[in-house]
Structure 1
Amino acid sequence: MQEAKIAAVLGAGAWGLTLAQLLRSNGLEVRQWSRRSEASLATVLAGADLWIMAVSMAGLASVADQVAALSLSDRAIWVSATKGLDPQGWRTPSQVLNDRFPHQPITVLSGPNLSKEIAQGLPAATVIASRDRQAATVVQKAFANDRFRVYTNRDPLGTELGGALKNVIAIAVGTCDGLSLGANARSALVTRALAEILRVGAYFGARTETFFGLSGLGDLLATCTSPLSRNYQVGFRLAQGESLESALTAIAATAEGVYTAQVLAQLAEREGLELPIAACVAELLADQISPATAIERLMARDLKAELV
């Protein structure tokens, strides 16, 4: 595969704009599309080497269907930068794309990547995951520079799950901090959350070691410890007495954990998975329990061994 020279970024939210800025700084020609764009989707995609999906999980399937209907060349490499789970079959973004584009290489970009810090030129690292090694290498070279270190791996499923599930945990940690419960409570919550993430990963068949890498533990730590995290801010604001609607309006951006929490709650109920933190977050977001009750419920669970 040749070096990528032209990238089409679908989505003009904070993350899509940051990725476009990063690629431009690396010398690529970048075209950007959103539902409010004057340029057509076909014009933006035509001839591009990379097709970067940076829309919300709720809008991904619709945009993918629009792209599929164009019947463009299948030589472009997909880069999924969307984090979440589709409620229809609990599918990851790359799986949704693969259903529609089975002959195109698909890669996943995920890691501890707070968009505001990257936009400011602060150092960061990420992962490009794909079963297609050549495609992963092309994308790696397109994004990498002296401020953005890019690794590759061959577990796109685990990479996506880590990126999706940590958003739900960040809401829980934001709630904990909003209630001023301290560092001990926060550390315990993050550690037990990792156990839940591993449980979900095992259910889907992802590689365990992926969750201890950048797209797993790394992303979890960044999202759960920074006020720049939109999902953390949702939890923090809920703990301060704001409604979910008010919190989302205040951050003025998509918080994927709100969407993913409901999917995880369904998964836990139907498949019998033990996901107490995700379940409490889902109830909190649905206004079925208060922030204080959510924490109390987690602390009052039956005593058990840490490792089994």
Structure 2
Amino acid sequence: MAALTRPFPELNSEPVTLAILGAGAWGMALSRLATHNGHQVRLWSRRGTLSLEAAVAEAEVILSVIPMKGVPELVERLVALNLPESSILGTATKGLDPATTLTPSRIFKQAFPGHPVVVLSGPNLSKEIEADLPAATVVASETAAAAATLQRVFASETFRVYSSSDPLGAELGGTLKNVIAIAVGVCDGLNLGYNARAALITRALPEVIRIGTHLGGRPDTFFGLSGLGDMLATCTSPLSRNYRVGCGLAQGKPLEQILEDLGSTAEGVNTAHVLMAIAQRENIYAPISYQVHCLLKGEITPQEAVMALMGRELKPEAVDPGKIEPVQPPRP
């Protein structure tokens, strides 16, 4: 493993006490970045010996890096600890809660209305970060000072950290692209070629923007690192868990076996189902995500999903949002 290059001195003059909640690959990579920058890091996991209370005690920044399914319970536990309002709450989880259809940052914001909440999202494959390969990310918050703090914690000469004032857009870009990565994995797994992959990613971008802006994100955010950037990385790399899910499905493997072989969470599976519940409720047109949803439920084959997308009616490339057809209901 290559050694990390030196951090930016102007960003790292004041050490911060940071609690990282989640010791998976991404949590470990972020912990290493912050430690190298001279910050005090407490790494917590459910299986570790450090208690949650001890991990967050007097922490200036508390960053959640756990899978989506554990976020609601974690938030409940943090509420019970009566965190000081000066604590910055961050989330690097990309998913949607099945019970509420909320993103992690929205769950944190509802539980901690007085705290600044920051979203960390971007094209960040953890293995490449661990190998000290050049990368960039976005820290997004409605509180500029909170975003600046996380910039200072993680920025180095090989990890460029940009700021944004659109946390929901940054979060939705990173979340929705996981569904698209499954679709691209299917495309590549069926050996449909580079033309098909390019067409799929290109048509997926307006779908993500359509959904993301309807839910409150800014259009320009989805053309940035946490949107298009994250989509390109996740949709074209075998390091992506969601891409590997799609490849496995294209090869005829059962979803349960694919997920077991991964040994870690592929958030796009849950996101696809929650997304279709949102699309039904909000009448959002999402044809690619709909086919992924049906495929994951075992209602169609990978080949049928491709044919369904290719066989849709002919129309202009640019579609008037006011004239789009409603999303199809799931098959009974």
Q: Report the TM-score when normalising by structure 2.
A: 0.90
Contact map agreement 1:4 1:139 (CA 8 A) in 2: no
Distance 1:243 1:219 in 2: 27
- Aligned-residue offset at 1:51: 0.3
Match of 1:43 among 39, 46, 54: 54
Q: Distance in 1 between matches of 2:216 and 2:158?
A: 33
SS at match of 1:149: strand
Aligned residues: 307
**Aligned position for 1:303:** 314
- Look up the match of 2:272: 261
Distance in 1 separating the partners of 2:137 and 2:67 = 19
Matched, 1:193 2:204: yes
What secondary structure, in the 3-state scheme, does the structure 1 residue paired with 2:105 have?
A: helix
2:138, 2:226 within 8 Å by CA — same for their partners in 1? Answer: yes
Deviations 1:152-199 (A, max 9, x none): 010001100000000000000001000000001001100111011011
TM-superposed CA distance for 1:12, in Å, is: 1.4
SS state of the match for residue 142, structure 2?
Answer: coil
Which amino acid in the other structure matches residue 117 of structure 1?
E
User: Pick from 57, 73, 76: which aligns with 2:84?
Assistant: 73
**Alpha-carbon deviation of 1:88?**
3.4
Q: Is the 8 A contact 1:4 1:50 kept in 2?
A: no
Amino acid in the other structure paired with 1:158: G
**CA distance in 2: counterparts of 1:245 and 1:304, whole angstroms:** 37
Q: Which residue is equivalent to 2:284?
A: 273
- 1:127 is matched with 138
Q: AA paired with 1:195?
A: P
The answer to whether structure 1 residue 210 and structure 2 residue 221 are counterparts is: yes
1:144 pairs, out of 139, 155, 158, with 155
How many angstroms apart in 1 are the aligned matches of 2:127 and 2:203? 28
Deviation at 1:102, TM superposition (A): 1.1
Shift, 1:298, TM fit: 0.6
The answer on whether the counterparts of 2:15 and 2:40 sit within 8 Å (CA) in structure 1 is no
Match of residue 127 from structure 2? 116
Point out where structure 2 has 5 or more consecutive residues left out of the alignment: 1-12, 320-332
Alignment equivalent of 1:98, drawn from 109, 122, 144: 109
Local SS of the residue matching 1:103:
coil
Give the distance between the partners of 1:245 and 1:224, measured in 2 at CA: 21
Letter in 2 for 1:43: A
Where 1:303 maps in the other structure, the secondary structure is coil
Per the TM alignment, residue 3 of structure 1 is displaced from its structure 2 partner at its CA by 4.1
Q: What is the DSSP-based 3-state SS (H/G/I as helix, E as strand, rest coil) of the residue aligned with 2:20?
A: strand
Partner Cα distance (2:311, 2:279) in 1? 19
1:39, distance to aligned residue in structure 2 (A): 1.4
1:5 to 16, 31, 56: 16
Q: Deviations over 1:211-242 (max 9, x none)?
A: 00000000000000100001000100111111
Please give the alpha-carbon distance, in whole angstroms, between the structure 1 residues aligned to 2:195 and 2:125: 24
Superposed, 1:15-54 pairs within 5 Å as 15-54=26-65
Q: Distance in 2 between matches of 1:134 and 1:114?
A: 27
Runs of 4+ with >4 A deviation? none
1:294 is the counterpart of 2:305? yes
Query: What TM-score, normalized to structure 1?
Result: 0.97
d(CA) in 2 for partners of 1:224, 1:5: 34
Counterpart of 1:248 in structure 2 is 259
How far off its partner does 1:74 sit?
2.4
Aligned equivalents of 2:134 and 2:27: distance in 1? 18
Does 1:87 find its partner at 2:98?
yes
Q: Please give the alpha-carbon distance, in whole angstroms, between the structure 2 residues aligned to 1:23 and 1:147.
A: 13
CA distance in 2, matches of 1:25, 1:239: 41
Matched, 1:229 2:240: yes
Following superposition, the deviation at residue 48 of structure 1 comes to: 1.2
SS at match of 1:51: strand
Rounded to whole Å, the distance in 2 between the matches of 1:39 and 1:46 is 11
Q: Confirm or deny: 8 A CA contact 2:18 2:59 kept in the other structure.
A: yes
- Structure 1 regions of 5+ residues with no counterpart? none
Measure how far apart 1:4 and its partner are: 4.8
Given that 1:126 and 1:150 are in contact with CA atoms closer than 8 Å, whether structure 2 keeps it comes out as yes
CA distance in 2, matches of 1:174, 1:168: 10
